[in-house]
Amino acid sequence: MPTLLDGESLVTSELFDAASGRVGRAGELPNPDISLRLDPVLDAALAGFAANLPASRIVSDLAAALHVLRRTSSPQDWKAMAIACRAHPVGDLLRQDPFTGRSAGKPRGYSGDAELLDIFYKHPSADEVVNNASTIGRAIYEHTSEVPSSEAGRERCRLLAANVDEACQRVGSNAQILAVAAGHLREAEICASLDKKRILRWVALDQDPLSIATIRTNHAGTPIEAVEGSVLGLLRRSYDLGTFDHVYASGLYDYLTAKTGAKLLGRLCEMVAPGGTLLFANYSDEIVSDGYMESFMDWPLILRSEADMRFIVEATPETEEFSAEYFYGANRNIVYAKLTRDLPISTASSEHAICYI
């Protein structure tokens, strides 16, 4: 049964189009000549498979061409192209890739679900679906799982774990952590602080009950507390969660407008303890797999630059009590904003004085 969305977590194509302004003006129709630009690209990919060319070469060339088409077309033309891509015969081959197929099929009713992330994380839980794919599907997966955007996603998981460890080193053995839109919380599996019992409480919030069930099963008997909840619930203050030494949202902002993102950021800032940190991430507007993701994978994202991240932070009044830094991952496919809440003046002064005793 598809997961019901709250109207603020924009993870379906229809909600994305409405939120991101990627639809044309009323009454505006796509250019009837778009097939002249698109058909040769799709037909070349299909011919490549028929000629048994390497899947990596076929998909790489296809993704590069779709990236150019996406960036050089009007919103309404690109939307029509994306729909045409999914209807073309080459789509049947591409969907044999477990990564592409899971995204296009949306068995949970929305894009970017936790099992999809496990597939490109190369998590052991995804081994069966990968091994059961067709020969062509596995060959395509060997490419799609290694493109820069996929590697950036795996790096993000490692970075999340490192930031939790950093917070625990700062606080000691009683650190409190909040993960928003936690998915399967795979970063916990590589977090040294969890094994060393430095975490007092790690709240994993997600609106998908299946993801919540997975977290509860995998982390029973640990300080990890899985809570079913949504962006809308956070904004309405529906959950009494308290404050935290580190708060993070790793993939949620890819689906939120700047306005909703700023509202959520303000609420999350309220949940950060003095001296605590807040991290949120977004796929950057420098990725080149955007056209393939939006067409054959039916996985649209709101891509952002460092300036876009800065805009969200600066549009949030609650961040006045925070210092902010912005940085990209190693291949610049994901951009991060990390905020640190100021310590109270009395505390900061005392610590400063102690340093000179």
Report how far apart, in Å, the C-alpha atoms of 83 and of each of 12, 87, 173, 289 are: 14, 7, 52, 17
Residue located via tokens 């690209």: 41
CA 174 to chain CA mean position, Å: 28
The phi, psi pair for 15, rounded to 5°, reads: -65, -40
Q: 3-class DSSP state for residue 228?
A: strand
The per-residue pLDDT for range 154-185, each reduced to its tens digit, is 999 999 999 999 999 999 889 999 999 999 99
Tell me the backbone φ, ψ of residue 177, rounded to 5 degrees. -125, 145
Backbone angles phi, psi at 146, to 5 degrees: -115, 0
Q: Label each residue of 262-324 as H, E or C.
A: HHHHHHHHHCEEEEEEEEEEEEECCCCCHHHHHHCCCCCCCCECHHHHHHHHHCCHHHHHEEE
Give the model's confidence band at 32: pLDDT under 50 very low, under 70 low, under 90 confident, else very high.
confident
Share of the chain above pLDDT 90, in %: 85
Reported as a pLDDT band with limits 50, 70 and 90, residue 33 is: confident
Q: Which residues of 219-239 are buried (b: 16+ CB within 10 A; e: fewer)?
A: beeebbebbebbbbbbeeeee
Residue 96 gets which letter from DSSP? T
pLDDT value, residue 27: 46
CA 234 to chain centre: 18
Contacts of 229 (CB under 8 A, 6+ apart): 205, 206, 207, 238, 239
Helices of type H across the chain: 13-20, 34-50, 55-72, 75-87, 90-94, 98-105, 114-121, 127-131, 135-144, 148-171, 192-195, 209-218, 231-235, 258-270, 290-295, 306-314, 345-354
Of 147, 143, 157, the C-alpha closest to 331 is 147
Residue pointed to by tokens 């000629």? 51
The vertex-191 CA angle with 251 and 261, nearest 5°, equals 20
With CA atoms as reference, report the closest residue to 148 among 333, 297, 298: 333
Q: Is the pLDDT of residue 301 over 70?
A: yes
Q: Which structure tokens are listed for 31?
A: 């250019």
Residue 30 above 90 pLDDT?
Answer: no
For position 31, what pLDDT does the model report?
78
pLDDT digit string (tens) for 74-122?
A: 999 999 999 999 999 999 999 999 999 999 999 999 989 999 999 999 9
pLDDT of residue 181: 97
pLDDT at 172: 87
Token reading at 320: 């006045």
What pLDDT, on the 0 to 100 scale, is given for residue 131?
Answer: 98
Q: Look at the domain 150-341 and name its fold.
A: Rossmann fold (3.40.50)
- The two structure tokens encoding residue 186: 């795979």
Q: Is the pLDDT of residue 273 over 70?
A: yes
- The answer to whether the CB of 91 falls within 8 A of the CB of 296 is yes
Q: Contact at 8 Å (CB) between 122 and 309?
A: no
Indicate the pLDDT class of residue 353, thresholds 50, 70 and 90. very low
Residues 280/256, Cβ–Cβ less than 8 Å: no
Q: What is the mean pLDDT of the chain?
A: 91
pLDDT of residue 344: 85
pLDDT over threshold 50, residue 351: no
Any idea where the domains of the chain sit in the sequence?
Answer: 33-147, 150-341
Reported as a single tens digit per residue, the pLDDT across 304-330 is: 999 999 999 999 999 999 999 999 999
For residue 39, the model assigns a pLDDT of 96
Q: What is the spatial distance between Cα 313 and Cα 180, in angstroms, rounded to a whole number?
A: 17
Model pTM score: 0.90
CA-CA-CA-CA torsion sign (96, 100, 102, 104): negative
Instruction: Lay out the sheet containing 334-341: strands in order across.
Output: 224-228, 199-206, 175-180, 244-249, 272-283, 334-341, 322-328
DSSP class of residue 251? S
- Give the gyration radius of the chain's Cα atoms: 22
